[in-house]
Amino acid sequence: MFINNRNAFTMIELIFVIVILGILAATALPKLAATRDDAKLSADIQKMSNCIMEAGTLYTARGEDIAAGDGTVCDEVKCYTINFANDGIDFIVSLNPGGADYCARVAEAGDHLAKTYRFKGTRVSY
Protein backbone atom coordinates (compact mmCIF):
# COMPACT_ATOMS: atom_id res chain seq x y z
CA MET A 1 0.00 0.00 0.00
CA PHE A 2 1.26 3.46 -1.02
CA ILE A 3 1.07 6.24 1.59
CA ASN A 4 1.45 9.85 0.46
CA ASN A 5 3.09 11.92 3.20
CA ARG A 6 3.47 15.22 1.30
CA ASN A 7 3.46 18.29 3.53
CA ALA A 8 4.18 20.91 0.87
CA PHE A 9 3.61 21.80 -2.78
CA THR A 10 6.05 20.63 -5.38
CA MET A 11 8.09 23.10 -7.38
CA ILE A 12 6.08 22.46 -10.56
CA GLU A 13 2.80 23.21 -8.74
CA LEU A 14 4.17 26.50 -7.46
CA ILE A 15 5.38 27.47 -10.95
CA PHE A 16 1.93 26.75 -12.41
CA VAL A 17 0.27 28.93 -9.74
CA ILE A 18 2.70 31.78 -10.41
CA VAL A 19 2.12 31.53 -14.18
CA ILE A 20 -1.65 31.58 -13.73
CA LEU A 21 -1.43 34.60 -11.41
CA GLY A 22 0.79 36.37 -13.96
CA ILE A 23 -1.72 35.76 -16.74
CA LEU A 24 -4.58 37.06 -14.58
CA ALA A 25 -2.58 40.15 -13.62
CA ALA A 26 -1.63 40.85 -17.24
CA THR A 27 -5.30 40.87 -18.26
CA ALA A 28 -6.61 42.75 -15.22
CA LEU A 29 -4.14 45.66 -14.98
CA PRO A 30 -5.07 47.36 -18.29
CA LYS A 31 -8.75 47.14 -17.34
CA LEU A 32 -8.02 48.70 -13.96
CA ALA A 33 -6.12 51.56 -15.62
CA ALA A 34 -9.00 52.15 -18.04
CA THR A 35 -11.48 52.14 -15.16
CA ARG A 36 -9.36 54.70 -13.30
CA ASP A 37 -9.28 56.97 -16.37
CA ASP A 38 -13.04 56.60 -16.84
CA ALA A 39 -13.59 57.63 -13.23
CA LYS A 40 -11.37 60.71 -13.63
CA LEU A 41 -13.16 61.67 -16.85
CA SER A 42 -16.54 61.22 -15.21
CA ALA A 43 -15.46 63.43 -12.31
CA ASP A 44 -14.24 66.12 -14.72
CA ILE A 45 -17.53 66.06 -16.63
CA GLN A 46 -19.38 66.45 -13.34
CA LYS A 47 -17.13 69.39 -12.38
CA MET A 48 -17.92 71.06 -15.72
CA SER A 49 -21.64 70.52 -15.15
CA ASN A 50 -21.32 72.06 -11.67
CA CYS A 51 -19.33 74.97 -13.13
CA ILE A 52 -22.09 75.74 -15.65
CA MET A 53 -24.72 75.51 -12.93
CA GLU A 54 -22.68 77.75 -10.63
CA ALA A 55 -22.16 80.33 -13.38
CA GLY A 56 -25.88 80.38 -14.15
CA THR A 57 -26.84 80.56 -10.50
CA LEU A 58 -24.47 83.46 -9.82
CA TYR A 59 -25.78 85.36 -12.83
CA THR A 60 -29.46 84.82 -12.10
CA ALA A 61 -29.05 85.55 -8.37
CA ARG A 62 -26.80 88.61 -8.53
CA GLY A 63 -26.45 89.52 -12.19
CA GLU A 64 -22.70 88.90 -12.01
CA ASP A 65 -20.57 86.87 -14.41
CA ILE A 66 -18.36 84.18 -12.95
CA ALA A 67 -14.67 84.60 -13.76
CA ALA A 68 -11.58 82.41 -13.72
CA GLY A 69 -9.93 82.33 -10.33
CA ASP A 70 -13.11 82.95 -8.37
CA GLY A 71 -12.26 79.89 -6.30
CA THR A 72 -14.97 77.85 -7.97
CA VAL A 73 -15.08 74.34 -9.35
CA CYS A 74 -14.50 75.85 -12.81
CA ASP A 75 -10.79 76.20 -12.07
CA GLU A 76 -10.48 72.43 -11.54
CA VAL A 77 -11.86 71.43 -14.95
CA LYS A 78 -9.25 69.84 -17.25
CA CYS A 79 -11.16 68.29 -20.19
CA TYR A 80 -12.92 71.51 -21.26
CA THR A 81 -11.82 74.98 -22.25
CA ILE A 82 -13.91 77.74 -20.73
CA ASN A 83 -14.27 81.25 -22.11
CA PHE A 84 -15.85 83.04 -19.21
CA ALA A 85 -18.71 85.45 -19.82
CA ASN A 86 -17.89 89.12 -19.40
CA ASP A 87 -20.17 92.12 -19.88
CA GLY A 88 -22.74 90.44 -22.06
CA ILE A 89 -20.31 88.16 -23.88
CA ASP A 90 -21.41 84.52 -23.84
CA PHE A 91 -20.05 81.80 -21.52
CA ILE A 92 -18.49 79.33 -24.00
CA VAL A 93 -17.55 75.75 -23.16
CA SER A 94 -15.54 73.71 -25.67
CA LEU A 95 -13.95 70.27 -25.50
CA ASN A 96 -10.25 69.96 -24.64
CA PRO A 97 -9.26 66.30 -25.24
CA GLY A 98 -5.59 67.13 -24.59
CA GLY A 99 -6.26 68.75 -21.21
CA ALA A 100 -5.10 65.67 -19.30
CA ASP A 101 -4.13 62.09 -20.09
CA TYR A 102 -7.65 60.85 -19.29
CA CYS A 103 -9.49 63.41 -21.47
CA ALA A 104 -9.15 61.53 -24.77
CA ARG A 105 -12.74 60.25 -24.63
CA VAL A 106 -14.39 63.50 -23.51
CA ALA A 107 -16.09 63.89 -26.91
CA GLU A 108 -17.89 60.57 -26.42
CA ALA A 109 -18.99 61.12 -22.84
CA GLY A 110 -19.28 64.85 -22.28
CA ASP A 111 -19.88 66.60 -25.59
CA HIS A 112 -23.39 67.58 -24.44
CA LEU A 113 -21.83 70.27 -22.21
CA ALA A 114 -19.81 71.92 -25.00
CA LYS A 115 -22.10 74.82 -25.88
CA THR A 116 -22.44 78.57 -25.81
CA TYR A 117 -24.45 79.62 -22.76
CA ARG A 118 -26.24 82.97 -22.73
CA PHE A 119 -27.04 84.64 -19.46
CA LYS A 120 -29.74 87.25 -19.99
CA GLY A 121 -32.13 88.66 -17.47
CA THR A 122 -32.96 85.81 -15.16
CA ARG A 123 -32.59 83.04 -17.74
CA VAL A 124 -29.80 80.80 -18.93
CA SER A 125 -30.13 79.48 -22.48
CA TYR A 126 -27.90 77.82 -25.02
The tens digit of pLDDT for each residue in 92-104 reads: 999 999 999 999 9
Give the model's pLDDT for residue 68.
87
pTM for the whole structure: 0.74
The three-class DSSP label of residue 112 is: helix
- When pLDDT is cut at 50, 70 and 90, the band that residue 33 belongs to is confident
CA distances from 37 to 40, 75, 79 (A): 5, 20, 12
